[in-house]
Amino acid sequence: MFAISLGDDGAEVRPLEPWRAEEFLAHMDRGREYIGRYVGLPTVVTDLESSRAFLQAYANKQAADAGRVYGIWLDGKLVGGVMFRIFDTAEGNCEAGCWLEPAVAGRGLVTRAVQVLIDWAVEERGMHRVEWHVSSANAASIKVAERLGMRRDGVLRESYPYGGVRHDMEVWSVLAPEWRERSQAGR
């Protein structure tokens, strides 16, 4: 098993695999309301069976080279996650996403974890475009996109229903040459 340090605060990113279903469910239960404000994950992961099924689906995606999911641990406790919801190697495009428990919000954990993912996608896998889809109402996630040097490509007005409301979806992206330029400049 590997873990990648996210700094000197005890945070790290690790693969989130099916054998961690119980830990993942406990994490979802701690953050269900907060996470569920903009992300449907808490409605999918409701019990041990659905937790295991979600993680197995991503294990299958990883085996097919079509997606991946990683957890963010802080001092040994699962507190969030990052993922490649879509990973299309033929087109060179992927979509990153995230979620986090409220107790650890505002510490830069997601930004640091997604930097690791984008570095890997661009430098190791040759991805050309990394997208970030976010509700226009999710200011914290929009700030992550900005900190990552992403540009807003546009807004899909009222494009998805969630929680009984139609939400605007912003699409942000960073291209491989832009990412490399930022990396060389020291971010």
Nearest to 178 by CA among 134, 118, 125, 124: 118
Domains of the chain and any CATH numbers: 4-184 (3.40.630.30)
Nearest to 45 by CA among 56, 57, 53: 53
Q: Digits of tens for pLDDT over the chain (187 positions)?
A: 589 999 889 999 999 999 999 999 999 999 999 999 998 999 999 999 999 999 999 999 999 999 999 999 999 999 999 999 999 999 999 999 999 999 999 999 999 999 999 999 999 999 999 999 999 999 999 999 999 999 999 999 999 898 888 999 999 999 999 999 988 877 5
Whole-structure pTM value: 0.93
Single-letter residue type at 187: R
The Cα–Cα gap between 146 and 91 comes to 24
